[in-house]
Amino acid sequence: MKLKAKIVLLAIVPFLVAIASIETGVREQATALAERQHATAQAAYMASKQIELKHYVELATTAIAPLYEAGSDNARDDAMLRTRALAMLGKMDFGKDGYFFVFDMHGRALMHPREPDIVGRDLWALRDPQGAPTIQQLLAAASRGGGYVRYLWQRPSTGKLASKLGYVVPLQRWGWMIGTGIYLDDVDTTLAHIDEGAAANIDRTMKWIDGIAMAGLAVIALCALVLNVTEYRSADAKLKRLTQQVVESQENERARLSRELHDGISQMMVSVKLLLESALARFERSEVREPAAEAALSTSLTRLGDTLREVRRISHALRPSMLDDLGVAAALEQLTRELSEQSGIEIGFTQIAHTHAAILPDAVNTVLFRIAQEALTNIVRHAKASSAALTLERSRDAVTLTIADNGRGFDVTHAFVGRRSGVGLRNMHERLDALGGKLSLSSQAGHTLLTAHVPLDMHEPHSPALQEI
């Protein structure tokens, strides 16, 4: 795994672990808080409902207190008072499911405004679906002087069993249990809404954390991308500098080899040729002639002359001295003349120098010469052209080299990419890129045009305008 990938992983993994830990802790704390909130709300609701029920029962007992306190030893009068009290309680209600009920202490229903069919029935043994003795629990609470009982009872408005909280008190002299109650499904619904709100808040908080995590990952990814692009640009810049250094090293080495061949080996070969020519002349002036030796010396001189010309050609191809002494224009003119003589292709050279044309730096001279050398070599070897033309145009701020031929052409789309791409074209592009120049190429059967454009520094010294050659 690359170092860059390791750095990214070292940034992402701890971040994800931290986010997961934060999310887990927040969820646990929020859940515990929601549970406490539920318990607190439930306790508050139940306490308020208990107080409310107690007030309702007190209101009912207060309403029938004059009848209860006016009790008589006369059984008939007392019965009338009880009947009036039951009628009064039956008319008192609060809401469609809020009413009062009255049982005697033996479990017989005396008054129930919502379920009149149970009045007069003995419900002592009544049990709910869970098996709890409902009436017995209510009577037990009343026997203790009053109290709250939670039980199941049919809700009049829906006809279904629902949880109910009742509050009952005894009327000792009449032997009654009077009470009321409220159904708790409304409380349960309210608590459920509270729980839903808490769950929604928890989910919203988790989404915020997830969003922050995604934003953090995006930032890390962006940083990784920036790092990647920065490293790519740095590597590309280093590669370009290395390429330029390699090219400069090649040119320096070529120049050194050219000088060695021209000043060293070539001079020694000239000296050897002179000695052989002197020896052959002595043989020819001698009275005793050796035809075989003379023929051998003559052949050696011929081959030595050919070798000397080849050495000079190689030296000139490596780095023509004219390029350093007279500039790129003279070197290009000599190159076109030599290649034209060797290949039989008519190659022309034209130089156009505008007013205040800049003097070309050595680096530009070298690049333009190598591009022309590579292009002309390709024309001679592959283009099957009968003519070609070079044009060097210099101005105040740029120099342009144009090379055209009437060869068979080639596919430009595959010139710089793919397996069929040419190394020479890539070298031209890299050489120009190092100078900030641009290479353009167009080709079709009968006409191929290559243009190398190099911008020049405005502060370069200028040469007087030259006439078109």
Q: What CA–CA distance (Å, rounded) separates 116 from 114?
A: 6
Structure tokens, 199: 């769950």
Between strands 176-183 and 161-171, the pairing is antiparallel
Q: Which helix (H) or strand (E) holds 223?
A: helix 185-259
Residue 88 lies in a domain: yes
Structure tokens, 386: 């009968």
- Nearest residue to 383 via CA among 401, 405, 402: 405
Over residues 404-424, the pLDDT tens digits come to: 999 888 888 776 665 555 677
198 within 8 A of 34, measured Cβ to Cβ = yes
Instruction: Please provide the size of the chain in residues.
Output: 469
In this predicted structure, what is the pLDDT of residue 218? 87
Residue 192: count of CB within 10 angstroms of its CB: 12
In this predicted structure, what is the pLDDT of residue 117? 92
445 within 8 A of 399, measured Cβ to Cβ = no
Question: 123 phi and psi, to 5 degrees?
Answer: -110, 25
Over residues 227-243, the pLDDT tens digits come to: 778 877 887 778 777 77
Q: C-alpha distances in angstroms, 60 versus 72, 83, 100, 274, 305?
A: 21, 15, 8, 149, 142
Helix extents (H) in 64-156: 65-69, 75-91, 134-143
In this predicted structure, what is the pLDDT of residue 262? 67
In this predicted structure, what is the pLDDT of residue 139? 95
Residue 429 lies in a domain: yes
The total of structural domains in the chain comes to: 2
- Domain boundary residue among 183, 207, 240? 183
Q: What CA–CA distance (Å, rounded) separates 192 from 34?
A: 11
Characterize 79-91 residue by residue with b for buried, 16 or more Cβ atoms within 10 angstroms of its Cβ, and e for exposed: eebbeebbeebbe
Adjacent-strand bridge partners of 111: 102
- Domain boundary residue among 165, 183, 201? 183
- Nearest residue to 380 via CA among 370, 369, 372: 372
In this predicted structure, what is the pLDDT of residue 111? 94
Residue 448 lies in a domain: yes
| DSSP class of 67 | H
Contacts of 287 (CB under 8 A, 6+ apart): none
148 within 8 A of 50, measured Cβ to Cβ = yes
The pLDDT tens digits along the chain (469 residues) read 566 677 767 778 888 888 888 888 888 998 898 889 888 888 888 899 899 999 999 999 999 999 888 866 666 778 888 999 999 999 998 888 899 999 999 999 999 999 999 999 999 999 998 999 999 999 999 999 999 999 999 988 888 889 999 999 999 989 999 999 999 887 888 888 888 888 899 889 989 988 988 888 888 888 878 877 887 788 777 877 777 777 777 767 777 777 777 677 778 888 887 888 887 787 777 776 677 777 888 888 888 888 888 877 777 677 777 777 788 888 888 888 888 888 889 999 999 888 778 788 888 888 898 899 888 888 988 888 899 999 999 888 899 999 999 988 888 877 666 555 567 787 888 888 888 889 888 888 889 999 999 998 744 444 443 333 3
Adjacent-strand bridge partners of 443: 448
Burial of 117 (0-12, 13-18, 19+ CB in 10 A): exposed
Q: What CA–CA distance (Å, rounded) separates 251 from 361?
A: 15
Burial of 422 (0-12, 13-18, 19+ CB in 10 A): middle
CATH of the domain at 84: 3.30.450.20
Query: Chain centroid to CA 275: how far?
Result: 78
Question: 104 phi and psi, to 5 degrees?
Answer: -85, 170
- Domain boundary residue among 140, 155, 183? 183
Question: 127 phi and psi, to 5 degrees?
Answer: -130, 150
In this predicted structure, what is the pLDDT of residue 397? 87
Residue 368 lies in a domain: yes
CATH of the domain at 335: 3.30.565.10
Q: Report the interhelical angle of 291-318 vs 266-285 (nearest 10°).
A: 160
Structural domain range at position 365: 325-455
Q: What CA–CA distance (Å, rounded) separates 89 from 176?
A: 13
Q: Which helix (H) or strand (E) holds 132?
A: none
258 within 8 A of 321, measured Cβ to Cβ = yes
Instruction: Pick left, alpha or beta for residue 312 (phi over 0 → left; psi -120 to 50 → alpha; otherwise beta).
Output: alpha
Residue type, 378: N
Q: What is the pTM of this model?
A: 0.49
Burial of 60 (0-12, 13-18, 19+ CB in 10 A): buried
Q: What CA–CA distance (Å, rounded) separates 349 from 401?
A: 11
DSSP string, 366-425: HHHHHHHHHHHHHIIIII--SEEEEEEEE-SSEEEEEEEE-S----GGGSSSSTT--HHH
